[in-house]
Structure 1
Amino acid sequence: MKKLISTIAVVFAFVAAVQAQGVLKFNKEVHDFGKVSEGPLATYSFEVTNTGTAPVVISNAAASCGCTTPEWSKDPIMPGAKSTIKVGYNTSGRPGAFTKTITVTSNAENATVILTIKGEVTAPSAAPSAPASSPNGKKKA
């Protein structure tokens, strides 16, 4: 009888531990920059909330290429608390459309979440040229 009660207690404790889990809820999982000028870093901060009942630690945020850099807090996100994952895309020398992913790994119930950034890098416009001058110093029409 004691073994049966002990076994039931262990099962209930295990079930309770499994149920107490964090859940990450992102404000959005895809961000479209639209058109951005080539040169500056394009950045966006994905907001995330722990809607679960246990703390969540983001263990990794891996970008699909070296041109994309994610930054995140290594501190636990407590139940009900918010955090951000800041993503930067290096637009320098990369004109044209882009779509990049960031794979977020954590101890949450939804352990892997894929975030996406996309947009179009536009080449910088050429500087306006000065009007041509004739040898006598007068501007040509």
Structure 2
Amino acid sequence: MKSIKILAVAALCTLAFSCNKKEETASSAENLDSAQAKTVVDALSQHETPEESEMLKEAQSKPLTTIAFSETDHNFGDIKKGEKVEHVYEVTNTGTNPLIISNVKPGCGCTVPDYTKEPILPGKKGKITLHFDSTNFDGSVNKIADVFLNVEKAPVRLTFSANILP
């Protein structure tokens, strides 16, 4: 039985990395028991690509600061298949050094980021907008975007969900 669980985790991880859709594979883990699903999600979140590693190094090479997000999760609710929606996440620089958002990396090509490119001074706000195209989806979806910035615990993960109706 243990070998079957290991094979299931390996198959899900292989699928995740070949499709570059980590968050969708993690949600596929719903068919596994909670311990198995946690193993899959942990394995996926610990895997860092060389590109992500470089983005993290770049972000943390700047003097670190602290931040506060207005929210890190958004629910679009019901939307029609093919509808394009967007949500703005506000980030406030609560530290003493300028906040620099060096990159925003969505989990898949259905999500396109736009974000404040210039340094955000202490006490000021910046924006990260995630644009989502629902054309290729049905039913419940959960998406992610990793934000690389000069804070201690980077990247920061933004998420959103929607229920895609026909």
Q: CA deviation at 1:23?
A: 1.1
Q: Which has the higher strand share?
A: 1
Alignment partner, residue 155 of structure 2: 112
Unaligned runs of 5+ in 1: 1-19, 124-141
Alignment partner, residue 52 of structure 1: 95
Q: Which has the higher helix share?
A: 2
Cα distance change on mapping 1:24 and 1:110 into 2, 3 Å: farther
Is the radius of gyration larger for structure 1 or structure 2? 1
Alignment partner, residue 125 of structure 2: 82
**Which amino acid in structure 1 is aligned with residue 79 of structure 2?**
V
Deviations 1:108-140 (A, max 9, x none): 2333210001011111xxxxxxxxxxxxxxxxx
Alignment partner, residue 27 of structure 1: 70
Q: CA deviation at 1:92?
A: 1.3
Deviations 1:70-109 (A, max 9, x none): 1102100100000110001101131211101010011123
Q: For 2:144 and 2:67, how far apart are their aligned partners in 1? A: 17
**Which amino acid in structure 1 is aligned with residue 165 of structure 2?**
T
Question: Structure 1 segments of 4 or more deviating over 2 A?
Answer: 108-111
The two structures have a TM-score, normalised by structure 2, of 0.60
- Report how many residues are paired: 104
Q: How does 1:92-107 map to 2 (within 5 A)?
A: 92-107=135-150
